[in-house]
Amino acid sequence: MALINTGYLEYEELSQIQKLPSDERYAKGPVAVIECVQEIPCNPCEAACRFGAIHIGDPITNLPTCSHDKCTGCGVCVSKCPGLAIFIVNKAYSENTATVAFPYEYMPTPEKGMEVTAVNRKGEEVCDAKVVNVMNPAAFDHTPVVTVEIPKEYADEVRSIKRL
Ligand code: SF4
Ligand code: SF4
Protein backbone atom coordinates (compact mmCIF):
# COMPACT_ATOMS: atom_id res chain seq x y z
CA MET A 1 0.00 0.00 0.00
CA ALA A 2 1.45 3.35 -0.99
CA LEU A 3 1.11 6.07 1.59
CA ILE A 4 0.93 9.75 0.75
CA ASN A 5 4.12 10.47 2.67
CA THR A 6 7.13 8.46 3.73
CA GLY A 7 7.58 8.00 7.46
CA TYR A 8 4.31 9.33 8.81
CA LEU A 9 0.58 9.14 8.31
CA GLU A 10 -1.89 11.82 7.43
CA TYR A 11 -5.00 11.60 9.62
CA GLU A 12 -7.17 11.48 6.51
CA GLU A 13 -5.49 8.34 5.19
CA LEU A 14 -5.47 6.74 8.63
CA SER A 15 -9.23 7.20 8.87
CA GLN A 16 -9.64 5.52 5.49
CA ILE A 17 -7.52 2.50 6.40
CA GLN A 18 -8.35 1.91 10.08
CA LYS A 19 -11.71 1.95 11.84
CA LEU A 20 -11.35 4.69 14.42
CA PRO A 21 -13.41 5.02 17.62
CA SER A 22 -16.83 6.62 17.23
CA ASP A 23 -17.72 9.89 18.91
CA GLU A 24 -19.95 7.88 21.27
CA ARG A 25 -17.02 5.66 22.31
CA TYR A 26 -14.72 8.62 22.74
CA ALA A 27 -17.30 10.16 25.08
CA LYS A 28 -16.94 7.16 27.41
CA GLY A 29 -13.22 7.64 28.11
CA PRO A 30 -9.81 6.34 27.07
CA VAL A 31 -9.63 4.05 24.07
CA ALA A 32 -6.94 2.56 21.85
CA VAL A 33 -6.33 4.15 18.46
CA ILE A 34 -4.41 1.75 16.25
CA GLU A 35 -2.38 3.52 13.58
CA CYS A 36 -1.02 0.38 11.95
CA VAL A 37 -1.63 0.49 8.22
CA GLN A 38 0.92 -1.77 6.58
CA GLU A 39 0.37 -5.48 6.08
CA ILE A 40 3.42 -6.84 7.88
CA PRO A 41 3.82 -10.17 9.74
CA CYS A 42 3.26 -8.89 13.28
CA ASN A 43 0.76 -9.58 16.06
CA PRO A 44 2.02 -8.89 19.61
CA CYS A 45 -0.77 -6.36 20.06
CA GLU A 46 -3.35 -9.12 19.67
CA ALA A 47 -1.66 -11.28 22.30
CA ALA A 48 -1.15 -8.34 24.66
CA CYS A 49 -4.81 -7.46 25.06
CA ARG A 50 -6.38 -9.55 27.81
CA PHE A 51 -9.76 -8.10 27.00
CA GLY A 52 -9.75 -9.58 23.50
CA ALA A 53 -10.21 -6.17 21.93
CA ILE A 54 -7.55 -6.55 19.22
CA HIS A 55 -7.93 -9.02 16.40
CA ILE A 56 -5.49 -9.99 13.65
CA GLY A 57 -6.16 -13.68 13.12
CA ASP A 58 -4.84 -15.59 10.13
CA PRO A 59 -2.87 -14.70 8.11
CA ILE A 60 -0.61 -12.77 10.45
CA THR A 61 -0.27 -10.04 7.85
CA ASN A 62 -3.87 -8.93 8.41
CA LEU A 63 -4.16 -5.40 9.72
CA PRO A 64 -5.19 -5.32 13.40
CA THR A 65 -8.73 -4.26 14.18
CA CYS A 66 -9.92 -3.01 17.55
CA SER A 67 -13.31 -3.65 19.12
CA HIS A 68 -13.48 -0.28 20.79
CA ASP A 69 -16.35 -1.33 23.07
CA LYS A 70 -14.13 -4.05 24.59
CA CYS A 71 -11.15 -1.73 25.05
CA THR A 72 -10.63 -0.31 28.53
CA GLY A 73 -7.82 2.02 27.51
CA CYS A 74 -5.37 0.22 29.80
CA GLY A 75 -2.38 0.98 27.55
CA VAL A 76 -0.68 -2.41 27.68
CA CYS A 77 -0.79 -2.84 23.90
CA VAL A 78 0.95 0.53 23.46
CA SER A 79 4.08 -0.81 25.13
CA LYS A 80 3.99 -4.11 23.25
CA CYS A 81 3.76 -2.75 19.71
CA PRO A 82 7.20 -2.79 18.03
CA GLY A 83 5.90 -0.37 15.43
CA LEU A 84 5.03 2.25 18.08
CA ALA A 85 1.70 2.45 16.29
CA ILE A 86 -0.86 2.38 19.12
CA PHE A 87 -2.07 5.37 21.13
CA ILE A 88 -4.62 5.83 23.89
CA VAL A 89 -6.83 8.85 23.39
CA ASN A 90 -9.18 10.17 26.06
CA LYS A 91 -11.42 12.90 24.73
CA ALA A 92 -13.50 12.83 27.91
CA TYR A 93 -10.64 13.85 30.23
CA SER A 94 -12.15 17.25 31.07
CA GLU A 95 -14.42 19.83 29.50
CA ASN A 96 -11.64 21.45 27.48
CA THR A 97 -8.77 19.00 27.53
CA ALA A 98 -8.00 15.51 26.26
CA THR A 99 -5.17 13.14 26.96
CA VAL A 100 -3.02 11.17 24.54
CA ALA A 101 -0.79 8.30 25.65
CA PHE A 102 2.10 7.14 23.47
CA PRO A 103 5.27 5.05 23.67
CA TYR A 104 8.40 7.06 24.49
CA GLU A 105 11.69 5.22 24.07
CA TYR A 106 14.10 8.11 24.58
CA MET A 107 16.12 9.14 27.59
CA PRO A 108 15.43 10.81 29.91
CA THR A 109 11.95 9.47 30.55
CA PRO A 110 9.51 12.32 31.24
CA GLU A 111 8.16 12.69 34.75
CA LYS A 112 4.61 13.33 35.86
CA GLY A 113 3.91 17.05 36.19
CA MET A 114 6.42 18.17 33.55
CA GLU A 115 5.42 20.90 31.10
CA VAL A 116 6.40 19.74 27.60
CA THR A 117 5.78 20.49 23.93
CA ALA A 118 3.42 18.17 22.08
CA VAL A 119 4.17 17.21 18.46
CA ASN A 120 2.16 15.69 15.64
CA ARG A 121 2.81 12.55 13.57
CA LYS A 122 5.34 14.47 11.53
CA GLY A 123 7.21 15.69 14.60
CA GLU A 124 6.01 19.27 14.24
CA GLU A 125 5.23 21.27 17.37
CA VAL A 126 1.48 21.51 18.02
CA CYS A 127 0.84 22.89 21.52
CA ASP A 128 1.93 22.98 25.14
CA ALA A 129 1.22 19.83 27.11
CA LYS A 130 1.45 18.53 30.64
CA VAL A 131 2.64 15.04 31.54
CA VAL A 132 -0.14 13.51 33.65
CA ASN A 133 1.00 9.90 33.79
CA VAL A 134 4.05 7.73 33.08
CA MET A 135 3.68 3.96 33.08
CA ASN A 136 6.97 2.08 33.05
CA PRO A 137 6.65 -1.27 34.83
CA ALA A 138 9.12 -4.10 34.15
CA ALA A 139 6.45 -5.80 32.04
CA PHE A 140 6.65 -2.93 29.54
CA ASP A 141 10.26 -3.95 28.83
CA HIS A 142 11.76 -0.44 28.61
CA THR A 143 8.96 1.07 26.55
CA PRO A 144 7.41 3.66 28.87
CA VAL A 145 3.91 4.87 28.06
CA VAL A 146 3.61 8.60 28.62
CA THR A 147 0.27 10.41 28.88
CA VAL A 148 -0.04 14.13 28.23
CA GLU A 149 -2.94 16.53 28.70
CA ILE A 150 -3.59 18.84 25.76
CA PRO A 151 -6.34 21.13 24.47
CA LYS A 152 -9.14 18.86 23.23
CA GLU A 153 -9.03 20.14 19.65
CA TYR A 154 -5.61 18.53 19.16
CA ALA A 155 -6.56 15.03 20.32
CA ASP A 156 -6.45 13.56 16.79
CA GLU A 157 -3.22 15.35 15.98
CA VAL A 158 -0.83 15.08 18.94
CA ARG A 159 1.06 11.78 18.97
CA SER A 160 4.24 12.46 20.95
CA ILE A 161 6.30 15.17 22.59
CA LYS A 162 9.43 17.02 21.66
CA ARG A 163 12.44 15.20 23.05
CA LEU A 164 13.57 16.49 26.45
S1 SF4 B 1 -5.66 -0.39 25.59
FE2 SF4 B 1 -5.79 -2.29 26.81
S3 SF4 B 1 -7.90 -2.99 26.52
FE4 SF4 B 1 -7.48 -1.48 24.87
S5 SF4 B 1 -6.79 -2.70 23.14
FE6 SF4 B 1 -4.94 -2.07 24.27
S7 SF4 B 1 -4.52 -3.78 25.69
FE8 SF4 B 1 -6.63 -4.01 24.95
S1 SF4 C 1 1.97 -4.92 17.23
FE2 SF4 C 1 1.86 -2.84 16.34
S3 SF4 C 1 2.92 -3.01 14.35
FE4 SF4 C 1 2.42 -5.11 15.03
S5 SF4 C 1 0.42 -5.53 14.09
FE6 SF4 C 1 0.01 -4.74 16.14
S7 SF4 C 1 -0.30 -2.50 15.83
FE8 SF4 C 1 0.72 -3.31 13.99
User: Is it the case that residue 2 has pLDDT exceeding 70?
Assistant: no
Position 76 in a domain: yes
Work out whether strand 145-151 and strand 160-161 pair parallel, antiparallel, or are unpaired. unpaired
Q: What is the pLDDT of residues 37-66, one digit of tens each?
A: 999 999 999 999 999 999 999 999 999 999
Position 3 in a domain: no
Read off the amino acid at residue 19. Answer: K
Give mean pLDDT, residues 120-146.
97
What's the 155 CA to ligand 1 centre distance in angstroms?
Answer: 18
Counted domains in the chain:
1
Position 69 in a domain: yes
Q: What is the pLDDT of residues 9-33, one digit of tens each?
A: 999 999 999 999 999 999 999 999 9
Position 2 in a domain: no
Q: Which ligand is nearest to the CA of 101?
A: 1
Q: Which atom of ligand 1 is nearest to the CA of 34?
A: 5
Position 12 in a domain: no
Read off the amino acid at residue 78. Answer: V
Position 5 in a domain: no
Position 153 in a domain: yes
User: Is it the case that residue 111 has pLDDT exceeding 80?
Assistant: yes
DSSP code for 91? T
The pTM score is 0.96
Position 59 in a domain: yes
Q: Which ligand is nearest to the CA of 103?
A: 2
Per the structure, the complete domain to which residue 109 belongs is given by 21-161
